[in-house]
Amino acid sequence: MFNFAPRRLPLHAHRDAGRSTCSTSHALKLGRPSRWSAPVSALLPALVPMLAATHAHAHDAQTDTTLPAVSVNASASTTAAPRALDPNLPASVETVTREQFSRWNVVNTEDVLKYMPNLAVRKRFIGDLNSIIAVRGTSNTQSARGLVYADGMLLSNLLGNSYAFPPRWSMVSPEEIQQVDVIYGPFSALYPGNSLGATVLISTRMPQQFEANADVKGFTQHFSLFGVNRNFNGASASASIGDKVGKFSWRLGVNHLDSTSQPLQFATLAKSTMPAKAGDTPVSGAYFYNNQTNTPTAVLGVNGEGIEHTVQDQFKLKMQYDFTPTLQGAFTLGYWHQTYDSATSTFLRDADGNPVYSGNVSINGYHYTIPAAAMAPSRGYSENWLYGLALKTRNATGWNAEAIASYYDVSNSVARTANAGGPNNGPGTVLFGDGTGWKTLDLRSTYTPANHEAGLANHALSFGYHYDNYFVDNRSYTTLNWRDGAANAFANGFAGKTQTQALYAQDAWRFLPRWKLVYGVRYEDWQAYDGAQSLPGTTLRYSDVSQQHFSPKASLSFDVSDDLTLRASIGRAYRFPTVSELFQGQINGFAIVNNNPNLQPENALSKELTAEWAHWNGVFRFSLFQDDVKNTIFSQTDTTVIPNVTNFQNIGKVRSRGVETSYSGEDVFVRGLDLIANVAYTQSKILENAQNPASVGKYFYRIPLWRVNVAATYHFDARAALTLAARYSGRQYNTLTNTDTNPNVFGGTSSYTVADAKFTFKPTKLSEIGIGVDNLFDARYFVYHPYPGRTFYLEAKLRI
């Protein structure tokens, strides 16, 4: 589904009253034939007054030759029809609605993005805490190049820029989502430079009458690799209740997830050529393979990030009050608690059958030294709170304003790791991360022209102010009992803060009936301060740094016809360093500090040419894009100094360019068939890199050349539907120098083709069951870690 600027076109009739909810908002925006057959001349006299009354907050009125985008609900369902994005966004937008993703295998919130064009989520298992967005020329370790909002509140974890800093998807459950919009690229002045990859806008729903819902899912996968051959299971349950009484509406939801992953990482050593020594313990059970660089490798067992058992609980309360017909306030309280336990195991056995985790051993007559921590387990837990306040006006035309404030608080965070493998309660380390979080404030004013207003009749204006403050305080201690012992001696710590303030303005000017220019500028004032690293008796403090930049944007669109629009967009964006890139690291005599307080912000110039065509009961999009990014921030090895230094560095220039084609439609070829299909090609190369010259001319890290997604849902009738889908990701590299020549193994990042399916059936109007499978043909594929094997789902829903 798509959301774009309104367009002039006729309406067509709804093809099947059996669909519980329908929306013409997508159809009206690009001339797509919707499910209404009556001509506009017959329907408008009746529809316009009704829609004006029921959708007084709609803000996409255009000139007197443009039909505004509307949403029509075909039933009395408490689920509202999909709402329209700002029609003046100067970028490509893809939308997935509740009606669509309810036919897919969705357990975690990020699953709703699984078939979006040129986008992938690094999700290693159900309940993975490190699910990162990868899109266009942004890899799945560049988490700070993506923004995720839920009802206007920022969920992006901009404390760092790696797999360890994913958006806080857990603050939204799939059951409360109404729709998700993905905005590609940094072309809108309304969003910061972190939108260089994509901006994800999650909209949740509020009840229009009393409702109660329950959803239970069970899932299982069989996984076989090296010395592991077993099933891994899990389940989730959610429930919600809500109501609307007069001007007040509320919704309370809870969610529980219990999941066990397949092995995520194995303990390995290069295959030895040294004969066994006296005193080596002869062992058996090792496995051998050629790793990602085709080096013969011994697999010894499952290591510290091994088989992860996670339990997650969510509580979410949202309240909304209509002070007047045009003034609305909202309050959000979210709580998320999670525990994890990463179990390890060894494949090695001595002559008496006892497990061997470390030491000097002999394997097939050759000598190996296994470090004590090679198969060390870990565990941890955290508590997280989200507080949000929103106040906004909803005038149909003229001026509107909104204010959104949020606070994300990691109130309790503990991570424990053993010093050695084996089933013991011996010494280890404990890391405390409480006192970490972020605060945001967004103030925005918009002007939507009314047809009769002179002077500004062809201008839609946006002005705003943004503030965010990210802060981190991590402290590590030794402990005599890694599982639950008290903190002992201080080991190390780091702390720091970043703050960004921004002002922006944007104007959408329709200077001719078929021409529109959207132009704007964003000014950002960024600071990093209170940076410090500590060892026992020693604290190294860093100087405060600050930068200020302007980011101009412009987009010109032309309506070739009622069904075809062409658009050219260009935008400058600055992605500022995060706290962890600047300050996090280690200080000791054996390791080089993995930080860089002198990092420069990423400086991107992005360009896009797009054609959007409404045809065949759907919308086609064709986009050419190019991102030229100077000072790309990435962890790499500086090979020009001796000894080599590995830390976060600025790579001189990375160019990413490619093409995307996508289609989304309903009643495609046959009545009842909905289709999503997209193909993308991206070539991302390093053009300048003074610290690692061998990488120049090579493909950038983890950007596949091809991505393809297809998802077809056939509605047999109002009660039953079947979805068949496939995902493909092409060749990509796990090193900047492209030395991983054997990618389809553990340690590599492989290409893959996986197929998914789901059948849903409604026995009654108030119940639904679903049976599904992901990775239908049990493909074995890797993102360094193994992805899941064939996974079966069973789901039951009940609503009142």
Query: Domain residues of the chain, as ranges?
Result: 25-204, 211-799
d(CA 774, CA 743): 22
CB contact at 8 A, 794 and 760: no
CB contact at 8 A, 199 and 229: no
Q: Which residue has the tokens 């026995």?
A: 763
d(CA 793, CA 756): 11
Examine residue 643 and say whether the peptide bond preceding it is cis (omega within 30 degrees of 0). yes
- pLDDT surpassing 60 at residue 69: no
C-alpha distance from residue 162 to each of 173, 403, 580 (Å) = 23, 30, 10
d(CA 133, CA 163): 9
The fold for domain 211-799 equals: Maltoporin; Chain A (2.40.170)
CATH architecture of 25-204: Beta Complex (2.170)
Q: DSSP assignment, residue 716?
A: S
CB contact at 8 A, 795 and 216: yes
State the pLDDT at residue 595: 75
Q: Would you place residue 47 in the very low, low, confident or very high pLDDT band (cuts 50, 70, 90)?
A: very low
452 in helix, strand or coil? Answer: coil
State the pLDDT at residue 594: 62
State the pLDDT at residue 39: 30
235's CB contacts (< 8 A; 6+ apart) are 216, 217, 218, 219, 257, 258, 259
**Please, which residues bridge with residue 123 across strands?**
none
Q: Would you place residue 642 in the very low, low, confident or very high pLDDT band (cuts 50, 70, 90)?
A: confident
d(CA 374, CA 356): 11
Neighbouring CB atoms inside 10 A of 534's CB total: 18
Q: Chain-wide mean pLDDT for the chain?
A: 88
C-alpha distance from residue 371 to each of 295, 303, 359, 367, 419 (Å) = 20, 11, 7, 13, 10
State the pLDDT at residue 274: 97
State the pLDDT at residue 88: 86
Q: What percent of the chain stands above pLDDT 90?
A: 82
State the pLDDT at residue 4: 34
Nearest of 558, 557, 562, 526 to residue 544 by alpha carbon:
526
- pLDDT surpassing 50 at residue 13: no
Nearest of 475, 466, 549, 533 to residue 501 by alpha carbon:
466
Nearest of 309, 176, 178 to residue 254 by alpha carbon:
176
Nearest of 118, 133, 70 to residue 624 by alpha carbon:
118
d(CA 730, CA 734): 13
CB contact at 8 A, 675 and 683: no
Instruction: Retrieve residue 42's tokens.
Output: 């017959």
654's CB contacts (< 8 A; 6+ apart) are 137, 628, 629, 632, 684, 685, 686, 687, 700
State the pLDDT at residue 456: 66
State the pLDDT at residue 9: 30
CB contact at 8 A, 368 and 361: yes
Neighbouring CB atoms inside 10 A of 131's CB total: 23
- pLDDT surpassing 70 at residue 64: no
Q: Which of 235-239, 454-458, 554-558 is predicted with the least confidence, judged by mean pLDDT?
A: 454-458
d(CA 700, CA 686): 6
d(CA 273, CA 291): 16
Average pLDDT over residues 332-347: 96
pLDDT (tens digit per residue) in 140-180 = 999 999 999 999 999 999 999 999 999 999 999 999 999 99
- The amino acid present at 322, given as its one-letter code, is D
Q: DSSP assignment, residue 695?
A: G
Q: What percent of the chain stands above pLDDT 70?
A: 88
Average pLDDT over residues 470-491: 95
**Please, which residues bridge with residue 785 across strands?**
783
Domains 25-204 and 211-799 share a fold: no
What is the DSSP pairing of strand 146-150 with strand 198-204?
parallel
Q: Which of 245-259, 571-585, 709-723, 779-793 is predicted with the least confidence, judged by mean pLDDT?
A: 571-585
Q: Would you place residue 96 in the very low, low, confident or very high pLDDT band (cuts 50, 70, 90)?
A: very high
